[in-house]
Structure 1
Amino acid sequence: MNRLKLDETALDLFARRPTRSFSTGLAFLDAATANRDGVEAGYRPRQVVELCGASDTPKTQVLEHVVASFLTKSCGASAQPPKERVIIFDHECEVSTARLAALVADRLAGSKREDALQEVLGRVQMCYCRDSFQWLATLNHVHFQLLETPPAPLMMVFNCVGSFHVIDNMTAKSVGDGLALSEQVFIFLKQFIRHHSPVVFATKETAKTARNSWDHPEYLPSSWTSQVSKRILLRIPPPPRQSLDGCKKDEQSCVDDRCTHFEAKCIVGGER
């Protein structure tokens, strides 16, 4: 049974109830939710999960798997139609609707799969923002949208959460000491999560380091990092020495093969 925390209301406790959790179906992600007894609790509303990795890691593909699992978690479980909603902020324009549709279709069964697929995909809202100003405005619009719709399990996806931070910082420094606009987005997002209780998955680009490929130098402000419940670091392992000669002969096939193999590590765990 969940215990009431010192700083939360009964509504907060309700939002954290285990029955509203879901599993992604990806072993390395679900393992990060295991409790002290080794039981995987799944991801719950108001959790913020950050997927970090260099540009060669399949962060976006992992997000697509997570979205497909969330959208179909209650399909066929009851007579009531599933209501899960997903809002994707694809700043990098990397999320493939074709891949997402294929992943969802694989999880659906029955003679009316095509109709079910269209219904499921109809619960996905894609948002493309050019800068933090548009991002903040879109979040505000979505907030008022949700106020007018019946409550439903909600997921928010950001690809990638740090897309505009560098240019926002440069702009803030050039005009004064005010907060970078991306920081204002993160502050608003905290209130948004508190109000609408989504589970949040976000990717974050990291730079490769020669010293240790698990190194994770933080560059986003505390207004974001303080919200992160789980941080999963992805990396592509170096190829075995004995395969290097073969890679020289067929470089493209070796690149494709390496991209299908990656390692993951949870470097921050627990509740915020």
Structure 2
Amino acid sequence: MTPAPTSVAARAHEIRRLVVEMALAAGSCHIGSALSIADILAVLYGGVLRDLHGRPDGSSGDRFVLSKGHAASALYAALATVDILDPHDVVAGYSQDGGAYAGHPERTTPGVTTSSGSLGHGPALALGLALADREDGTGRRTVCLVGDGELNEGSVWEAIALAGHLALPELVLVVDANGWQGLGAVADVTDLEPLDAKLAAFRWDVATVDGHDLDALGTTLAAAAPRPRAVIARTVKGSGLDFMEDTFMSHYRSLRPADRERALASLERRRAA
């Protein structure tokens, strides 16, 4: 396997690079959705999620639920940076006919907690896991990552309401607030603001953070609270590819072989900045 990155910044770069390589190999879309969460995943898999390879007693560690499953390539990339998946395998097998790594994650894949498909179900699944862990006294945390467009789903708010009522400190909800969803700008489809006030009204502990500031993400995601914690991460869709950043196009456009050189060059410029 490729040696694991030695810093959070290096991990974030490697996640982006692998996402681009997967997109090029598969001719797939949702690149913007995957790149906007690269820094969040780099921080989570760089130390916030505890006992990724399991505990000494054989039980599992903290759990991660990717509710916005169309960003699966970023999750596979993150798992590759912690030696749970092989980076060469994920590039070769992502979104391919007969490949091992589907366009939405499946829980049969090592390191994947829950399957995805139709959006909006991750928060309820994460709530159930967190509640079970509280009942069992495991000390685990469950982190669920949702898209801001996904918050249009009523099932998300049902889970948010119940988690607040249950005062579950074992549950963390991270919102990838990149401002875009499958039908256009989030503000135009269904305006969510003021999102922080809405989450607080459901008795959540709420923080807003720059979703690309690694230090701020680390502090915010690791913080404990006496009730469920929501982290609104303000991100840029397509972050790292300067020719696709903050565009609706990045939700659907695939990368062509002719894009390879400028895509990788853009990632290098971001790393050097």
User: Does TM, scored on the shorter chain, surpass 0.5?
Assistant: no
More helix by proportion, 1 or 2? 2
- Computing the radius of gyration over CA atoms, which structure comes out larger, 1 or 2? 1
Report TM bin, short chain. Answer: 0.3 to 0.5
Name the structure, 1 or 2, with higher relative contact order (CA <8 Å, separation 6+). Answer: 1
TM-score with structure 2 length normalisation? 0.44
